[in-house]
Structure 1
Amino acid sequence: DEEETPLIPVRKDSGKQRHTMMSASFNFINSIIGSGIIGKNSLPLFFPTLCLYFMADYTIILLIKGGNITGTNSYQALVQSTFGFPGFLILSALQFLYPFIAMISYNITTGDTLTKVFQRIPGVGPGHILAERHFVILLSTIVFTLPLSLYRNVEKLGKVNLSYHTIVVFVPTQNAWSFANWNAIQAVGLISFAFICHHNSFLIYGSLEKPTVANWSRVTHTSVGSAVLFSAAFAVAGYITFTGYTQGDIFENYCRDDDLVTFGRFCFGFSIIATFPLECFVTREVVTNVICRRELSKMEHVLITSLIVLACTSLSLPYDCLGVVLELNGVLSATPLIFIIPPACFLKLSPGRKLQCQNVIPIFLIAMGFFVMITGLIMIGLYPQDCSHGVEMFYCVQSNFSSTAPPV
């Protein structure tokens, strides 16, 4: 059966540990459920979220099928085989940009969440060094993200990524049914950011014990399906709770003295720390494929990894508005990587006329991708999200609390 034959030439390093389907699914879920899950979402966008789930699932499988047709084992090799060197350069830029900006957002999230966790420690107040986001970001980088990013094999992160996912329980507030504004296209870009995992699909596919299209389809359905359930839970609960006051980082809406949310911040902060290295793997591979075009020596591996992590950390220290970062990454890099390039490759590789039934969905996805990119960039410029890092919301201050919320 063709579906059970691993047509893509998978790289098999000597002594390299292979992933079971469950372990690969956990790595894939962790790749999807990053900082995007706590970005600003709303209940009216539940149906678009569901549609984006099917589209993401569809295009992930398209990539592997394209790899089967061309005999390639990476996203870059597939696009180069299909569109030549210009296509390779465009994809390489997008593949570098997406995980690079994602790592910046992970650092911002770490600084947002763990500073408030540390402030629940007796004696740690707003002026304490552990409540300083710059120090927390530097500390997590030195102790966790840089050492984990120095791994050479993605399989070693499987065990690290298994244990850190959590869901926070939300309590509804007043005025919960004020619906989204007309510029909700911005949230579509954010949701695109939350669901992209195409840039490391070949990495995880190649780590399977039995890398076949059938097994990969099961991993994809399980991983993306689980991610949409988590995202829907956060979106619905967050919308019901905070409506027009929802921040770019939804954890910023909760008060510092909420112990349950403090536990959620702690778990989510370490989930993000565990996700960071997976994105660094992809960024490093792009640099290796474009610049070095050979396997890195140990010294080169350490140097390039350190430079990537240092650059991300340097950019995340002065800027702390998570929502804008997520939206920009969504419309600028995630949208073409999800909706435009995979179906474009499929159309180019498909035999016969382009206007046939099997090509209707790919053509629709390409058109939608360009619409979301153009409209999303315009909306980000006209309607940037508010950002209030480290500022307690009005309802957290007892003296300002009233039954009537102030106007948005």
Structure 2
Amino acid sequence: MTTHGDHQVQLKTSIPSLTNTERDLLQAHQPGYGTRSAVEVAFNLVNATVGAGIIGLPFALYNAGFISGLALSLFVSVVSQIGLYMLIVAGQRVGIYKFAALVEYLLGRPGYHFLNFMILIQAAGACLSYIILIGDTLPVLLALYFPQYPNLSDRSMILIFISVFLIFPLNLSRSIGALARWSIVSVLCLPIILLTLLIRAPLYSPTHTATLDWVGPDIFGAGAIMAFGFACSQVAFNNFLALKEQTSRMWAYAVTIAAIISYIMSMAFAVIGFLSFGKDVQPNLFLNFPADDAVINIGRFALGFSMILTVPMAFYPAREAIQKSLGFETPEKQPNAYQHYGVTVLLSIIITILGVCVHSVGKVYTLIGGVAATTLAYILPAASYIVTRSIRGQQQEEAKQPLINHVNNNLDYNSIGSSTSSESNHSAYPVMVEEEPVVMDMDDGATCWYLDIAAGLLIIWGFIVMFFATKSVFA
């Protein structure tokens, strides 16, 4: 069914349902095959957002100053979600649903490789920080509660075991939609973490000084840490393609839910941590507590378990960036099984080795946030939104009739599961295979003057944070 008045299209055919493997492959790179509700996608976004960066937020409040830090955190959260929305709208305007392909379309091949490099830094750095946090929590607990098994206190051995037997299986799927239910479990660990801090952290506050300053020693460094803590643009298209109803309205709904949950959980953690330890707060908040605090150890376990489920959320975009750079994934093809699993194994090994060797997340937050997070969350989404503003009108009008013809021409649907070369195009319209119709809004991407202004300000803000944050790190 097509409705030309509001340009909203519902497609429904009698094509046999795809297998899970075929749907996983198509959902990973092509619109129209999503199966997840907005709430499920929102939890995926929360899981991607509230990761290792949350541990550094109390430290960010100290650097920014408590009053300025609260205002800055709200600002960073809002602009990060605006960037997510702009990125998807830009993709809809030109019918491209991969971040790297969109930047290549706008900036050429150098932009394509630059984006893949930024995504690799951001995502692989996030994976590394998650692994480090697992190494800071679970071995400590095992050594305390199982002293009769000294090998369990070996950080390297525990990290290798967890990486191979718990994290690696979650990294094998092609589509990030497969992680939706695990993301819900991971997010449910966060209230436990916050509750343990709420109970125990105030008991340590008398021995520490927390001054409620207006401005702290490094407000731009704090902005970079917050950018890292709230950014998840590298998984924006993956999650949008997992949506069953792929419209900008539904995407905005999912982003809003994720933003509210992420901000409340993250800043509750940040405020409690800062007020309890003040100027003595560590970049990893749990390092402020003694190892034998039983209540805090419940939070440590919840954090470690949550990080295990969060690593894949950063691993997927890192793997995709490598596959694109190597030419395994292009607009015409997807990686074959050997390429997909080969990159998965190799990247898993590298991240595990780095996690074993690196012990501190200190300035990782500031450096990754200042360089990669600001580029991915602010600069590139806003620039894409501005550049595609003039492209949208003509291409969306031209897309309506091919969409109708595409359904009426009775294409060879039997080739869906057997070939990937013809599936991975940058079409703005899907091939529908389910009995339930999937709605795609052909008016998505309409221009809006206040978003145009916001996009310009977002670019300026991104460069300011990048300059001062990297300056403070290398100083």
TM-score band by shorter chain is 0.7 to 0.9
SS at match of 1:123: coil
Kindly report which structure 2 residues correspond to 1:225-264, keeping only aligned pairs within 5 A, or say none: 225-264=260-299
Q: Relative to structure 1, is the Cα distance of residues 232 and 124 closer, same or farther in structure 2, using a 3 angstrom cutoff? A: farther
1:150 match = 172
What is the TM-score when the length of structure 1 is the normalising length? Answer: 0.86
In the alignment, structure 1 residue 41 sits paired with structure 2 residue 52: no
The structure whose Rg is larger is 2
**Aligned residue identity for 1:210:** E
Contiguous gaps of at least 5 residues in structure 2: 12-17, 25-33, 392-448
Q: Is contact 2:171-2:315 (8 Å) kept?
A: yes
1:251-308 Cα distance to aligned partner (Å, 9 max, x none): 1111111111111111111111111112111112122223213322222222110111
1:239-258 Cα distance to aligned partner (Å, 9 max, x none): 10011111111011111111
**Aligned residue identity for 1:41:** A
SS at match of 2:218: coil
Q: Which moved more, 1:314-323 or 1:115-124?
A: 115-124
Shift of 1:110: 0.5
Contiguous gaps of at least 5 residues in structure 1: 383-408
Q: Relative to structure 1, is the Cα distance of residues 248 and 227 closer, same or farther in structure 2, using a 3 angstrom cutoff? A: same
In the alignment, structure 1 residue 79 sits paired with structure 2 residue 96: no
Q: Is contact 2:143-2:153 (8 Å) kept?
A: yes
For residues 228 and 47 of structure 1, the distance between their equivalents in structure 2, rounded to whole angstroms, comes to 12
For residues 254 and 279 of structure 1, the distance between their equivalents in structure 2, rounded to whole angstroms, comes to 28
Q: Relative to structure 1, is the Cα distance of residues 143 and 357 closer, same or farther in structure 2, using a 3 angstrom cutoff? A: closer
**Aligned residue identity for 1:349:** T
**Aligned residue identity for 1:362:** A
* Cα RMSD (Å): 2.3
Q: Relative to structure 1, is the Cα distance of residues 210 and 139 closer, same or farther in structure 2, using a 3 angstrom cutoff? A: same
SS at match of 1:89: helix
In the alignment, structure 1 residue 21 sits paired with structure 2 residue 38: yes
Runs of 4+ in 1 over 4 A off after TM superposition: 1-7
Kindly report which structure 2 residues correspond to 1:51-62, keeping only aligned pairs within 5 A, or say none: 51-62=75-86
Q: Is contact 1:137-1:317 (8 Å) kept?
A: yes
In the alignment, structure 1 residue 214 sits paired with structure 2 residue 233: no
For residues 260 and 359 of structure 2, the distance between their equivalents in structure 1, rounded to whole angstroms, comes to 30
For residues 376 and 23 of structure 2, the distance between their equivalents in structure 1, rounded to whole angstroms, comes to 32
Q: Relative to structure 1, is the Cα distance of residues 357 and 181 closer, same or farther in structure 2, using a 3 angstrom cutoff? A: closer
What is the TM-score when the length of structure 2 is the normalising length? Answer: 0.74
For residues 358 and 202 of structure 1, the distance between their equivalents in structure 2, rounded to whole angstroms, comes to 20
In the alignment, structure 1 residue 121 sits paired with structure 2 residue 145: yes
For residues 7 and 43 of structure 2, the distance between their equivalents in structure 1, rounded to whole angstroms, comes to 23
Q: Relative to structure 1, is the Cα distance of residues 64 and 358 closer, same or farther in structure 2, using a 3 angstrom cutoff? A: closer
In the alignment, which of 211, 230, 234 is matched to residue 177 of structure 1?
211
1:23-57 Cα distance to aligned partner (Å, 9 max, x none): 11111110001000111232331110000111011
Q: Relative to structure 1, is the Cα distance of residues 91 and 243 closer, same or farther in structure 2, using a 3 angstrom cutoff? A: same
**Aligned residue identity for 2:197:** V
SS at match of 2:357: coil
Shift of 1:5: 5.9
For residues 336 and 298 of structure 1, the distance between their equivalents in structure 2, rounded to whole angstroms, comes to 32
Shift of 1:90: 1.2
1:363 match = 456
1:201-221 Cα distance to aligned partner (Å, 9 max, x none): 100100111111110000000
1:273 match = 308
Q: Relative to structure 1, is the Cα distance of residues 358 and 248 closer, same or farther in structure 2, using a 3 angstrom cutoff? A: closer
**Aligned residue identity for 1:176:** A
Q: Which moved more, 1:191-200 or 1:277-286?
A: 277-286
For residues 189 and 4 of structure 1, the distance between their equivalents in structure 2, rounded to whole angstroms, comes to 40
**Aligned residue identity for 2:43:** F
**Aligned residue identity for 1:155:** G
For residues 3 and 117 of structure 1, the distance between their equivalents in structure 2, rounded to whole angstroms, comes to 57
**Aligned residue identity for 2:114:** I
1:378 match = 471
1:387 match = none
For residues 4 and 47 of structure 1, the distance between their equivalents in structure 2, rounded to whole angstroms, comes to 39
The number of residue pairs the alignment matches comes to 374
Shift of 1:321: 1.1
Shift of 1:183: 1.5
For residues 6 and 317 of structure 2, the distance between their equivalents in structure 1, rounded to whole angstroms, comes to 29
SS at match of 1:81: helix
Q: Relative to structure 1, is the Cα distance of residues 123 and 197 closer, same or farther in structure 2, using a 3 angstrom cutoff? A: same
For residues 355 and 197 of structure 2, the distance between their equivalents in structure 1, rounded to whole angstroms, comes to 28
Shift of 1:121: 0.8
Q: Is contact 1:161-1:274 (8 Å) kept?
A: yes
Kindly report which structure 2 residues correspond to 1:215-364, keeping only aligned pairs within 5 A, or say none: 215-291=250-326, 292-293=328-329, 294-351=333-390, 358-364=451-457
Q: Is contact 2:89-2:248 (8 Å) kept?
A: yes
